[in-house]
Structure formats: C-alpha cells, structure tokens
Amino acid sequence: MTSDLRCFVALRPDPACAAALEALARSLARRNVPARVVDRGNLHLTLAFIGALDAARAPAIVAALATLPALSGAWNLDRVGAFTAARVIWAAGAPQPQLFELAARVRHALHAQGVAFDRRAFVPHVTLLRGPSAALDEALPVPIAWRLGPAELLVSARDAGHRLRYRPWSATPPA
C-alpha cells in the first residue's frame, strides 16, 4: 500500500515579502468580498504541480532539487491581476528568465525520475485571493521584492482545524 501525498515544487517568499503580500491580499479582499485570503504560510510560486505522489518517492525528488542552483536576486512583484475562470487574484512581476529556467530544470528533474506533473505552461504568479469573480489588472503603487531562493518540494494537507496548509517535505512526518 502506498501513502500518497498531494505535492508540488515551489519557491516560498521570505518573511518580509510574505508579510507584504498578506497585507496586499487583505486590502484586495476588502474590495472583492467574499474572497478568501491565502494564509501567509501558504504563499508560494509554483514551479511544477505534481498532485498525488507516493511518499516513498519524495526523498529522491528532494535530493534532485538540492542539485539545482538556488536563485539569487529578487523578483519585483509590481502588478495584480485575476484568473477569472479559476476565481483567483494574483500578484506577479515582469517575467524573469531565471524563473523560467528554474521551472524548466525542475520539470526536467521530475521527468527524469518518472514523476508525473501538470505540463501546462509555467506562468509565474502568486495567488493572493481565492473565490472572487471580478476581473482585475492593476499596477502596484510600490513593488514588493521577493528574494529568490531554492526550489522546495511542498506537501498540501489539512491541519487539525481542517485548514489547508503547505509545508516542506522535510517537515512531513513519516507515514
């Protein structure tokens, strides 16, 4: 019997960026009722969505990700918009080649290990709100700097209060 986890590979914001994104999300939520703000600890930039993953395969994925170079510098988030069909509001910045390169390397590493993942085109964005149906496309008055770092394997699971939480594989208790 396998123990499947719901997983994805992502970059996570540093604490200052996460706080700024949370404040932005709360401000946007007041204008987009009944939108739900993404919890600060769940903010991320998905590089590859895996979905169900046998927990026994996770250590090899983590090892493969550790061989990829961590990004340096910052991604300046300067715009908010909406995916109306998906009912989300997001923040993003100008496309950076290094983000696309990292996403391609992550996807290549997953493919090399025979791990299935969503092959839709990589669209760098950070989901801030879920549930709104309004269109949105605005420049931010002050960009938010996201210090780039390493790609991580994240696990999606419900906590004791049934809230969805994303945590690094390294913090996942063994099954």
**What is the token pair recorded at 41?**
């600890």
Cα–Cα distance for residue pair 57/170, rounded to 1 Å: 13
- Contact in structure between 137 and 82 (CB atoms under 8 Å): yes
Query: Which pLDDT belongs to residue 4?
Result: 77
Supply 86's token pair: 């998906």
Domain assignment present for 154? yes
pLDDT value of residue 1: 36
Average pLDDT, the chain: 92
Asked whether residue 47 is assigned to any structural domain, the reply reads yes
Q: Is residue 175 part of a domain?
A: no
Instruction: Show the domain range for 76.
Output: 4-170
- Domain CATH number, residue 23: 3.90.1140.10
Tokens of 7: 């997983």
Q: Is residue 161 part of a domain?
A: yes
Tokens of 134: 């309004």
Distances (CA, A) of 114 to 29, 53, 111: 40, 11, 5
| Nearest CA-CA partner of 7 in 39, 62, 53 | 53
* 25 lies in some domain: yes
In a domain, 163, yes or no: yes
pLDDT tens digits, 67-93: 999 888 999 999 999 999 999 999 999
Number of domains in the chain: 1
Query: What one-character-per-residue DSSP string does 49-69 give?
Result: EEEEEEGGGHHHHHHHHHTSP
pTM given for the model: 0.92
Determine the residue type at 107: R
pLDDT tens track for 28-67: 999 887 889 999 999 999 999 999 999 999 999 999 999 9
The rounded distance, in Å, linking the Cα atoms of 129 and 10 is 18
Q: Is residue 36 part of a domain?
A: yes
